[in-house]
Amino acid sequence: MINVSDRTKKIAFPLAYCAVILLAASSGFASEAGGGAHHPDSGAQMKDFYWRVFDFAVLVAIVVWALKKANVKGSLTDRQSQIEKSLKEAQEGRLAAEAKLLEYSGKLDQATKEIDDIHAAIIREGEQEKQRIIAEAHKAAERIATQAALSAEQEIVKARAELRAEAGRLAVELAGGKLAGAIQKADHDRFVGEYLDKVVQLQ
């Protein structure tokens, strides 16, 4: 890449060379004018020529100064660098945004999974609690049934004992003849039959 100083040198050297040639030509022209003094307009021509050389030198100086100040290519290069930097920053920003989006998407998926797991755990715990309550109810019913059966068995045993005691008492009384006159054979058979029926029912 050619910088401004190189460009200035490439332009300034030819201009300076032209200026030297013009100055040499002006010197030759002046000497000719001195040798031919019989021309009345030679002084005016030399003066005009010097002014032209001066104007040309001023123009060269202005051009050189403008080229030094107006860093056109440098400005374009800087602008291009800024644009490239902006594009690079935009690309990096886009990549960072995509990374953030991916990160938040992963966190959202994880949170959704945790919510689903909690919901499933609540359902499982509810089902387990339901099964536990049902099992306890069955156990309670079994205990009640067992207790009722035990109570019924105890009542049966008690009733049997009472019947046996009553039967023994009646047998003793019958054997002793206390009821021999009061109880007929039919009553005796009826008592014995009722006793046997009760004993059979309690078996």
Question: What domain range is 182 assigned to?
Answer: 157-202
Residue 153, pLDDT above cutoff 60 = yes
- Residue 128 is assigned to a structural domain of this protein: no
- Residue 63 is assigned to a structural domain of this protein: yes
- Residue 119 is assigned to a structural domain of this protein: no
pLDDT digits (tens, 9 = 90+) for 27-78: 555 555 444 444 556 677 777 877 888 888 888 888 777 776 666 566 667 7
pLDDT digits (tens, 9 = 90+) for 84-141: 888 998 899 889 999 989 998 888 989 988 898 898 888 888 888 888 898 888 888 8
Asked if residue 56 lies in contact with residue 26, where contact means CB atoms within 8 angstroms, the answer is no
Residue whose tokens read 């959202």: 108
- Residue 59 is assigned to a structural domain of this protein: yes
> Total domain count for the chain?
2
pLDDT digits (tens, 9 = 90+) for 52-65: 888 888 888 887 77
Tell me the C-alpha to C-alpha distance, in Å, between residue 189 and each of 46, 88, 89, 198: 185, 123, 121, 14
* Helix/strand/coil percent split, the chain, to 5: 90, 0, 10
